[in-house]
Structure 1
Amino acid sequence: MKETGVKAFTLAFILAGNGCDPAWDGERPLDGDDAAQIKRIRDAGGDVVVSMGGSDKEGRKLGEVCPDEQSLANAYQKVIDAYQLKAIDIDIEKGEFESPAAQDRELGALKILKQRNRDLKTIVVFPVDRSGPNDDGKRLIRRAHEIGSDVDVFTIMPFAFGGTDMTRDTISATEGLAREIAGTFAIPLEEAYRKAGISSKNGGVEETVWLEDFHNFLDYATDRRLGRFTFWAVNRDRPGDPSDDSGSGIPQRDWDFTKVVARYSGALVDPAREPQN
């Protein structure tokens, strides 16, 4: 925070602990070291968004373990209450993303949470193709509209999709997302951009997202006034091995990518600047 000016972080992941009960990584209690970390961030003038779900977490996600939308909402509410959160992030991937029942359970839970917590902002994060949301992503957006989930920002992960020019392919994917939101919600494209977000990555192995790409993303997000611009992840934002998430795998200085994201001031969700940890 001192070196980059970043004011907030998305902390991941909340998973299922004992049954339909939230825990950090499915193991650590809500009142443990992670709570102390959140306090340190807030004491330094920042804030947090908490993310539930994840990619390689099959069978451990609350959205898969909790039997219905009410119990899932109750589990998420425990996290909201534990940290007095202003915003939550639901990361829907792999089997959960491809399951209509799981999608509906997540969206139904978000609808309940919005009814309970008037000022809560909700973010849904999901994979994407280079041209925009695939059929599963389109269904997710459509069902959110149909059942009135009132999702604030639909955020795509524009990577691991065979991109070659990551600036071009990320912008193409985001434009596809915005068009899908505009068509589904029958709103102007300018308004749809406010409900659209990018959660990129820094560095990489098969695909590489360079610092120049991030500067291009910042310009694009600023021009379109996107609802969110973030990335995975702060702990990779330094030179090092990307295979264990301890480095980006490319030449860089510590916190280069975070400094770019910290400059974005147009996010809809408050807190506004959220490189993921």
Structure 2
Amino acid sequence: MPAPRSSTRPAHRSPTRLAAAAVILAALTTVTAPTATATASPRRDTAPRTPATDATFQHPAYFMPLDNNPQAISDIVADSGEKEFLLAFVLDSGGCTPAWDGDSTHPVAADTQVAAEVNAIRAAGGDVSVSFGGYNGTELGATCGSSTALAAAYQQVVDKYKLTRIDLDWEGDDLDANMAVRWGAIKTLEQDNPGLSVSLTIPMTTVGLPDTGKDEIRQAIADGARIDTVNIMDFDFGLTSGTETEAAETVADDVNTQLQSLYGWDAATAWAHTSIQLMNGHTDQPSELFTQDTFNSLLAFAQSNHVAQLSYWDLNRDRACDPGVPHNWADGACSSVDQDPFDFTKIITKYTG
């Protein structure tokens, strides 16, 4: 099996802040609970809920609220219609301390800036999930030492933002590592937070799940931890032939077969537990390119299979690059393709499950 190709998550470490917006939003220090209720009965089973449909969170866009010149939430909502956000990333800033981007100057415990963004999203009728991990930085599960300590660190974030959803983006050397600690923590978190929805983000290969991703799922099942949605990074595996649309569809089809085998599901149930995550414009692989037409085609594919979610990395890049300024191949703050602002976000917000 080919080695998995993980996303580098463009310009993860190059923050450019909207200072004026931050000053305005910093005054909002208390996170308000989401208006939508998610109060399912406590679950103790190893498999995800069936069916895994969440009608209020079907097309979340990844968004870095502190890095890569983030757009104002008011502009995103008004100009794209997006109200569902996967906020990235919470990491360890040292000593099992959750912090945005792992930055010791932005610990979750003292945060007001991201809290204000969450309030603004919920005031607009939307909601958020928080993503732990990413390709760069130190994931909490690598350093917290025990399932108890890790569960407490995750719980701090859940409590801070009154979360009903979290995303586990364990990439690079965090994938298939410290699994007993990580899944033990998730089992505790699920027991202590009935109704909490958990997605696991996994990098893809040209034949679907890497062996490391299968190991994660098997360990979760063995440890009694529930994965509600398997979020496949349907990019960065390298296009070797055909079109980007065909390649992404083939990988998703392969994952569907693999999930049927791992969980004993039928195809429809496996799709209902799958989130397809795309990447707009240039990806980290020079052979790959996702245009607006690609997104539209994959929107139709997702709709026809009734997947749990259609997502993408990331909203910060949903704008054209300034031609007068040098940019990376897969720039963190623009798509490197010809587009109008929020073209890609407007496409995924059409997904209805």
TM-score with structure 1 length normalisation? 0.90
Structure 1 match to 2:262: 184
Q: CA deviation at 1:44?
A: 1.7
Letter in 1 for 2:80: T
Asked if 1:152 is matched to 2:224, the reply is: no
2:140 aligns to what?
A: 62
Aligned with 2:211 (options 132, 135, 141): 135
C-alpha distance in 2, partners of 1:49/1:144? 20
Secondary structure at 2:281 match in 1: coil
Give, as a single letter, the amino acid of the residue that structure 1 aligns with 2:303: T
Q: Distance between the aligned counterparts of 2:259 and 2:227, measured in 1?
A: 11
Higher RCO (C-alpha 8 Å, min separation 6): 2
Q: Find the partner of 1:92 among 167, 170, 194.
A: 170
Query: Shift of residue 126 of structure 1?
Result: 1.3
For residues 142-221 of structure 1, the aligned pairs below 5 Å read 142-164=218-240, 165-204=243-282, 206=286, 207-221=288-302
Q: Greater CA radius of gyration, 1 or 2?
A: 2
Please say if residues 176 and 216 of structure 2, whose CA atoms lie closer than 8 Å, have aligned partners that are also in contact.
no
In the TM superposition, residue 104 of structure 1 has moved relative to its aligned partner by 3.2
Which residues of structure 2 form unaligned runs of 5+? 1-76, 322-326
- For residues 123-150 of structure 1, give each alpha carbon's deviation from its aligned partner in whole angstroms, at most 9, with x where no partner exists: 0001111211111111122222222211
- Deviation of the 1:18 alpha carbon: 3.4
Separation in 1, partners of 2:347, 2:181: 35
User: Separation in 2 of the partners of 1:203 and 1:244?
Assistant: 9
What is the alpha-carbon distance in structure 2 between the residues aligned to residue 231 and residue 134 of structure 1?
Answer: 20
Structure 1: state its 5+ residue gaps: 267-277
| Aligned match of 2:339 | 252
The CA deviation at 1:244 is 3.9
Question: What residue number does 2:61 align with?
Answer: none
CA distance in 1, matches of 2:274, 2:182: 18
| Cα separation, 1, equivalents of 2:181 and 2:297 | 36
| 1:217-232 → structure 2 map (5 Å cutoff) | 217-232=298-313
Give the % identical residues.
Answer: 35
Cα distance in 1 for residues equivalent to 2:256 and 2:190: 23
CA-to-aligned-CA distance 1:50-70 (integer Å, 9 cap, x gap): 11100022xx11011110222
Partner of 1:36: 116
Matching residue within 292, 310, 314 for 1:233 = 314
TM-score normalised by the chain length of structure 2? 0.72
Q: CA RMSD in A?
A: 1.4
The CA deviation at 1:154 is 0.7
User: Equivalents in 2 of 1:262, 1:73: separation in Å?
Assistant: 32
Structure 1 runs (4+) deviating above 4 angstroms are none
**Which one has the bigger helix percentage?**
1
Give the match's secondary structure for 2:277. strand
- Where 1:3 maps in the other structure, the secondary structure is helix
